[in-house]
Structure 1
Amino acid sequence: MTSTALTTQATPATPPTLPAALPATTCAVVFHELGGPEVLKTEEVPLPAPGPGEVLLRVEAIGLNRAEAMFRSGGYYYRPTLPGSRLGYEAAGVVAAVGEGVTAFVPGDRVLSAGTFDFGVHGVYAERVVLPESSLVPAPADADPVTAAALWVTYATAYGGLVETGGLAPGDQVLITGGSSGVGTAAIQTARRVGAVPIVTTRGTAKREQLRELGAAHVISTDTEDLVEEVKRFTGGAGVRLAFDGIGGPGFTAVGDALTPGGTVVAYGWLDPRPMVLSMNWPLTVRTFGNGLLARDPGYRRRAAAFLGAGLASGELAPVVAKVFEGLEAMGDAHRLMESNAHTGKIVVRV
Structure 2
Amino acid sequence: MKKLLLGLLATAVIAASPALAADKKLKIGATTYGLNAEFMQIWSAALKQHPAVKSGMVDLTVFDGRYDALVQQEQFNTMITQKFDAIIFVPMDVEAGAAAVQAAHDAGIPVVGSNARVNSDLLTSYVGSNDVEAGELEAKSVLDKMGCKGNVVILEGPIGQSGQIQRLEGNQKALKACPDVKVLEMQTANWSRAEAQTLMENWLTAHPGQINGVIGQNDEMALGAIEAIKAANLKVSDFAIAGVDGVTDAINAVKRGEMASILQDANAQAQGALDIAIKAVDKDYQPQSPIWKQYPDMKWGEGTDKTYLVPWTPVTKDNADKLLESRK
Give the TM-score category using the shorter length: 0.3 to 0.5
Higher strand share: 1
Q: Normalised by the size of structure 1, how large is the TM-score?
A: 0.34
Q: Normalised by the size of structure 2, how large is the TM-score?
A: 0.36
